[in-house]
Every structure is written in structure tokens, then in C-alpha cells.
Amino acid sequence: MASVEHCLYCFETLAVELEDRKPMTLDQIKKSWAEYISSTATTTTENPEAVKQSPALRRLAASSSSSSSSSSSSSSSSSSSSSSLSLSPSTPATSLSSSPAPPDSDSPPITSSPLFVTWNTHHPRHGPILRGCIGTFEPQPLSTGLASYALISALQDSRFHPISLSELPKLQVAVTLLTDFEDADDKLDWELGKHGIRISFFDHRGRRYGATYLPDVATEQGWTKEETLVSLMRKAGWVGKREGWGEMELRVVRYQGRKEKLEYDEYRKWREWVEGSKE
């Protein structure tokens, strides 16, 4: 699944690009984050309120608690008794936020994956507003792919003007690693909230259309499957009559996403700790 370190890396990449300084590598960030968590754990033992102020630390504490409860439950219970797809390299998507999937301690570390990077900005009345989202369905080494798409989604999403340095404090980043690609049996063979979908179709002139929505988009918008498909067709550029959507032959590929998100304030606190540890 995507991790806090992946999100930190995206923030670091964008900040470095806008501030013109030397970036940390993903491996350096992973090591630094582990040290930061260790040092923060000592502080939060003395001051539990610090955990409440950091969503990332709350999720970490919750994961530890969940793993502990799961192990305890498992122990108690014991005592008592795809398809191969050809996908385009770079695709914009719309996504705001979602809860991360539970960590799987038995899974090996992910080093390469299809991925999307989403930037949101906070509006005082409307909450998170999409600011940029682009990714790829081709597996990427995370050490380079995350950095590339952090910048592409922030600076090259044609739906928005490039993110500026002054916007950094208002940003939230979300990283989604894509898994479990499958050809759907039909246009409705997918689950709201579970699957992202990628559609492709042709109009009567033979023009090809295609677009994707990440797994959380439909539920965040409160859409039905039909509304999701129509919206996605519009996003792809289809201008036919709404009632005619069902007559179109859609190829639907469904997939799942493992997402993590991070606020700029959390990145800033970690970054300040990094700078302080150098002194």
C-alpha cells in the first residue's frame, strides 16, 4: 500500500522544485521518517496530546493497535478451537481523498507499481478541492515514478494552472498505488467504493475515447454506477445525449487502489525535525 513516506517524498519533490534546493531520496526519507517516529514516540509517551495533533501518527498508532488486537484475537481463536492489460502510460484522474487500506505485514515492500499522485487544496468553505491528479497504469519504480508524477500532476495537469510556492501550505497530497486489474464482464461489473474503473469506447465515427476514475471518486461524489459512467464518458470527451449512454459499447477495466494522504503541516513538522537534527 501507499505510505506516509511516499507522500513525504511527493511533498519533498515539489517543495524542492519550487524552492530550488537539493532533494532527499526516497530511501533517505524512509530512514528519516523511522527516526522521526522513534523520537516522536518518546515525546508522545510523555505528552499523549501530540498524537492527537498528527493524523499520520494517529494512523500509525491505530495500525499498531489493530495489529496487536488481531494477533490477540488470532491467538485466542486458536486456543479455543488477471487479465494481461495494455494500458496507456499517463492518465489524469479525479480524486480527493480516502482512508488507507490496512497494512499487510506479510507482504514484501512494494518497489514498483502503477500509481497516481493527487494534489488537493483546502477551501475554507468547501473543504478539499482538486488541484491536480495524474498517474500511469504502467508499473513505475517508486523511487523515480513518484517524483516524476508528483511534479507532472502539480505542474502539468492541463485542467489547472501550475501549483505555486505560495500554495504549498494549503496542500494535501495523496498517493494511490494501483492493484488487481481485471477486465469487467460488462459495464456494471464493478463495485462502488472498491474499484476504480478505466473505460474505452468508440463513437459512430470511429473516434476512440478513454478516461479513468480512482476508486474513491464515485462514493465521494455520491454517484450511482450509471452516473459515474456517464460522468466518466463526459470526461473522456463524449458529447452524445445522456439517455444514449447505455447504447455505447464500453470496455471497462476495473482495479483497486491502496491510498495514503498527508497534509502539508505534517510534512512541515517532519522537515523542521530533519533540519533540526542536522544542527
Closest CA to 95 of 169, 240, 197: 197
User: Tens digits of per-residue pLDDT, 40-49?
Assistant: 776 555 555 5
> Nine-digit cell at 262?
498527508
Question: Is pLDDT above 60 for 51?
Answer: no
State how far the alpha carbon of 257 is from the alpha carbons of 21, 103, 275, in Å: 32, 13, 33
Amino acid at 24: M
User: Tens digits of per-residue pLDDT, 126-149?
Assistant: 778 999 999 999 999 999 999 999
Specify whether the CB–CB gap between 130 and 94 falls below 8 A.
Answer: yes
d(C-alpha 210, C-alpha 198), whole Å: 7
State how far the alpha carbon of 15 is from the alpha carbons of 22, 40, 273, in Å: 10, 23, 16
Specify whether the CB–CB gap between 196 and 215 falls below 8 A.
Answer: yes
Provide CB contacts within 8 A for 19, sequence distance 6+.
165
Question: Is pLDDT above 70 for 68?
Answer: no
